Each structure stands twice: as C-alpha cells, then as structure tokens.
Amino acid sequence: MSSTGESSSSVLLSGNEAIAQGAREAGVGVATGYPGTPSTEILEALVRSDPDRDVYVEWSSNEKVAIDVALGAAIGGTRALVTMKHVGLNVASDTFMTAAYTGVRAGLVVVSADDPGMHSSQNEQDNRFVARFAGVPLLEPSDSAEARDLTVAAFEIAERFDTPVLLRTTTRIAHARALVSVRPARRPDRGGFRRDRPKYVMLPGFARQRRIVLLDRLAALAEYAETSPLQRVELGDLSVGVITSSIAYQYVREALPEASVLKLGLTHPLPARLIRDFCSRVERVLVVEELDPYLEDQIRALGIAVEGKRFFARAGELGPDSVRAGLRLAGAVAETAAPAAQQSPPTTPRPPLLCPGCPHVVPFLALRQLGAVVTGDIGCYTLAASAPLEAMDSCVAMGSSIGMAIGVRRSGGASAPVVAAIGDSTFMHAGIPALVDAVTNGTDLTVLILDNGTTAMTGGQAQPGTGSTIRGDPSTRIDLAALCLALGARSAEVVDPYDVAATHRALEKAVASSGVSVVITDRPCVEAPVKVRDTPFAVVAERCIACQLCMNLGCPSIVWDGGLYEGRRRVRIDASTCTGCAVCAQLCPTEAMVPLTGTAAGDGR
C-alpha cells in the first residue's frame, strides 16, 4: 500500500502499465498477446518502456499463437509474458492446459484480464477456475502496486516450481491508476534452449509421467501458499473476519477498516492451514469476492462454515456501494440511514456508436436492404446490431460468424441470404479455418470481410493486414483477397465501402452466386493508425426535404438542428466531427449535402 511519505518516489500507473513495469523489472525477454479489453495496454506500455528493444514484443495473430510463442520462448530459456482478455484464454487454453504438464524452464506468466460487468466483453467468465482446472498457480493483485509486485513474484514462482503462472486481473485493476514505486528494468537473461524430450514432447508415455509431476508440483505449491508473503493476515476486530482477494479487498477495507481480513494474493492452490487458522481466530467468516463463489466453495469444502454469495451478487462488477450493502445485509456494518442521494433527472441514453466516417456503415446498410440473415463477429462493427442499422443477428465469439453462417444455412431455417460479417483482424484470428470448412464442405455462403487495416475496437493495434508490427516496423501485409481465393472461395471482390452503389452491387451479386463468395470492403479505420479528416460536408438547408434517409446511417455528425421542412426536422452536419466520407451525400435524394469548400473545419453553425 502506498503512503504519503513515499509518494514522491512513486509514479501513477494503471494496472496494465504496472504489469509491464513488473515484467521489465523481472527481465522479461519475450512478450506476446492479442489485443482485448481490458488487457491491451500491457504490451503497449512494455514497448514504450523499451526503446532499446531488449524485449521481443509481438501482437500475435491470436491468443493460441501468443501462448505458443511465449511457451517456446520460456523453453528457449528467456522469461516470457503473454497477455489476453478473459475470453482470449479460451482460445489459448489448448496450450495452457498442457503447458502445465511440460513446465516452462524460464518463467512463463500468462495474464488474463477478466471483465466483470462486461464493460467491453461478451461474457463475464471467472478465469480463476481455469487456473484450478489446469493446475497452475493463480495470482490476483488488488491494485497497481500489487500488479507490479505480483508480476515480479509470478516469474519467480514460475521458475521455482517450473510451471506457467496465471496472473488474473479485472477491468478495475487493469484500468485503475494508483501509485507504484518502480525499480530499474533488467535486461533479459538468455538461458539457452536445453533439449529435454520427456519433458516437452507430450506423447502419451511422457505425458503420463508429467501428469504425476504436475500433481506433485501442486502439492508443493499448496505448501508454499501457506507461508507465501503474497498472503496477508490483517488482524483487527475479531467479531468478523473477511476472506477476500483482488479488487474486493479494497472495497472491504474501505467499508470495514477495523475488521480482520485474510487477503489472498495467491489464490490457487489455496492455503488450507492458513485459512483454518484465520477462521479459528474470528467469530464469523465472510467471503467477499467478485463473480463466482470460487473461494467460498473451496473453503466450505474444507469444512469451514463461511458465508458469501448470500450477501454479494454473483453477476456483475462489485463496487464500494454493493460491498457495503452486502456487509450491511450480513450485519457486519451498522445499519445506517443511506444519505439522501441526488436523483438523476431523465437523461438520453448514450450507447457506443460507429464513428463519423466509419467504413463499416455502408455494407450493413446494404445487408439490411437485402434482408440478409447476418451472423456477426467481434469488433466495432458489432454495433451494427443496434439502431438505426439493425443489421446483425448474432455475435458470439471471435471468428464464430462464418461457422455459424454455415450452420444457419444448413439448418434450412433461413429463407433470406445468409451472410457472415467479420472484421479483418477477427478473420485472421479465427475466421480462416471456418472459411476452409465452408469451401471444403461445399456450403453456399457469402462472407463479408470488413477490412479497415487495424484492430479498431481495442484502439488500433497492428494485425496481419496492417503491414506493420507493434513497434511500428514495416512487415509483410497479408493480402486478404488472394488468401480467400487460395482457400477456394469462388470470388473475392474488393470494394470501397464509401462507394454506396458499388458496395450494394457487390453484396447483391455475392448473395446470388453459389459456392463461397467473399466481399472485402477496403477502407482504413478513420481513427487509427491515422485520423482520417477529409473536407467536411455541409447541408444546404433549403434543399433538405427532411426525409431522414441520411439518419439511417446513424452518423454522429448528422444532427437535428437545421430547422423544419413541412413540420419535419431538417438535418445539419457538424463540420467539426465530419470526416468527409461523402456517404450521406450519395444517399441524399435532393443533393443537399455538399463539401464545405473554402472553410476550415469549424463548428459549421
């Protein structure tokens, strides 16, 4: 915990920056990952902290590749870090589960950034169970300072016990900033590859031996967990004891400053004796944890009567309010009259939007008009499911669009054309095998690849179609059309999504053809890597007949304060946000949208 005295030597770091800092201090040599909120900034911070390029850092094509690279690096003798969001670990789990058998040689730390509350995710799975499932140690920091400390500790534990270590954060750890005292980075050790086939070749005969090694290692880790400095007993008032970890610890300390707390930093394996001892000292034990009753169920299995999820929600993110409410419900804090909080007057909802000039808009406008069944995927374009585009019918997991489109098609349940809509980064991540499936099994299908050359949703990270690396170095750009044709697609038409008619025609043709037809919309994201700002457009008010056709784009730059026409709202373009994509101008039946020539981008009023 930071105190006032040491703040002068401390810096404010987010949890993600603190993990990067810890990894540098631990002498990490290879760092990999796939972008995913809330994990993305770890590798970006690592690159910023390493101008001398001591560390090899890459955005991998997916999380499975990322963990493979990291495991290889660890076996090659250098410390390796791999970062991903919680659902990314599902993709990486094939390797993760067996890496627990092989062990690592140099330290391997796997960061899973969970997203309780689903701020930017499709589910809120609790990845603490994955550590238990795989049989690897699990570390959970409760703020940025601990994120740094536990990252350093994770590398040490990984090497001492020859195991991958799961470092699990949550959005509220990853994106909260706190004071961290930092030490200088260490240059990576390069221990060298040492051949050891029984350890690294998981043929059944060797794997059976390694299974025993894994179980013995878990027993040793359980012993270590009892005395590890990562576990902290804070004895105070003995009437209530709280067992907690991660961010929940902070809320508990805030609500119950006097209580006795067992704060666990190493939550797999659990320290049974330490927990028994703590519970024997206090009159009553509460377990406060976010999401599922991971600690509670295991502690109850030790035969200890504890209470937890009776008082604290299992769904969503915990916060200071919900933890206090739960403690009040449990009778652990006095019932106090809630302060008369301000009521919020009615407000306008402000859901996330596709940006002005977003190249994803027009293809979805076309799909809506074609009445297609659209299986969608993960990215900014998932927002096409909401008003006014309303042109996406499913979104489940990275790359699911194509396989699900095959399924909808084969179900015989769709009378309309079936189109899979997938971003370029997502296609590279997990779309390719599904396209192969459609081709080889002879499914008639249209695949729309929304190629914006970046990973826009997470802030514009490089990917195989970008043509550069995480450090901005030029690299080979994968040619999507050539790739799809090589995989056996009948056609792969590249269109400019700013050309409304061409995009319509391309999709119309594709859904009418047999075999796998691919349409690739090719336009860079307007926000990354460079902000695209062309001459903005303006509405000639007297031409606008207030038909609202342009409003179907959902463009944030088109607003309703241009006066009235026959009692209906005329539109105005906010020139300060308009990117000049000219899409609305192509839709407008009265040619009311014209380039704002001779005027600097201003407020447009």
Q: Which residues in the 312-331 window bind other proteins by CB under 8 A? A: 319-321, 324
Residue 234 near other proteins by CB under 8 A: no
Q: Which of residues 383-422 bind other proteins (CB under 8 A)?
A: 383, 387-388
Least spacing, CB of residue 154 vs other proteins, in Å? 22
Question: 3-class DSSP state for residue 538?
Answer: strand
Under 8 Å between Cβ of 62 and 33 = no
- The CA distance from 83 to 131, in Å, is 15
Which one of the spans 7-15, 149-157, 183-191, 592-600 is the region binding other proteins (CB under 8 A)? 7-15
Strands, E, within 210-289: which ranges? 231-234, 237-245, 259-264, 266-268, 285-288
Residue 568 near other proteins by CB under 8 A: yes
Q: Which of residues 75-134 bind other proteins (CB under 8 A)?
A: 119-120
Least spacing, CB of residue 442 vs other proteins, in Å? 30
Least spacing, CB of residue 10 vs other proteins, in Å? 8
**Count of beta carbons in the 10 Å neighbourhood of residue 386:** 15
Judged by CB under 8 A, the residue of 404, 546, 585, 592 near other proteins is 546
Judged by CB under 8 A, the residue of 179, 242, 372, 404 near other proteins is 179
Residue 2 near other proteins by CB under 8 A: yes
Of the candidates 33, 123, 117, the residue with the CA atom closest to the CA atom of residue 83: 33
Judged by CB under 8 A, the residue of 76, 191, 236, 459 near other proteins is 459
Residue 542 near other proteins by CB under 8 A: no
**Count of beta carbons in the 10 Å neighbourhood of residue 109:** 31
Residue 150 near other proteins by CB under 8 A: no
Helix residue ranges, H only, 330-430: 361-370, 400-411, 424-426
Under 8 Å between Cβ of 218 and 111 = no
- Cβ within 8 Å of residue 84, ≥6 positions away: 33, 34, 36, 39, 63, 66, 91, 92, 110, 111, 112, 113
Residue 369 near other proteins by CB under 8 A: yes
Under 8 Å between Cβ of 449 and 483 = no
Two tokens, residue 136 = 């690897």
Least spacing, CB of residue 177 vs other proteins, in Å? 4
- Cβ within 8 Å of residue 9, ≥6 positions away: 181
Residue 340 near other proteins by CB under 8 A: yes
Which one of the spans 3-11, 93-101, 222-230, 290-298 is the region binding other proteins (CB under 8 A)? 3-11
- Closest CB to other proteins among residues 204, 567: 567
Least spacing, CB of residue 605 vs other proteins, in Å? 8
Of the candidates 129, 97, 108, the residue with the CA atom closest to the CA atom of residue 211: 97
Q: For residue 247, give the amino acid letter.
A: I
DSSP 8-state symbol, 431:
I
Least spacing, CB of residue 327 vs other proteins, in Å? 13
Least spacing, CB of residue 72 vs other proteins, in Å? 30
- Closest CB to other proteins among residues 116, 188: 116
- Closest CB to other proteins among residues 331, 589: 589
Judged by CB under 8 A, the residue of 195, 335, 336, 348 near other proteins is 348
# chain residues binding other proteins, by CB under 8 A: 78
Q: What is the dihedral of CA 106, 107, 108, 112, to 10 degrees?
A: -170
Residue 236 near other proteins by CB under 8 A: no
Under 8 Å between Cβ of 89 and 96 = yes
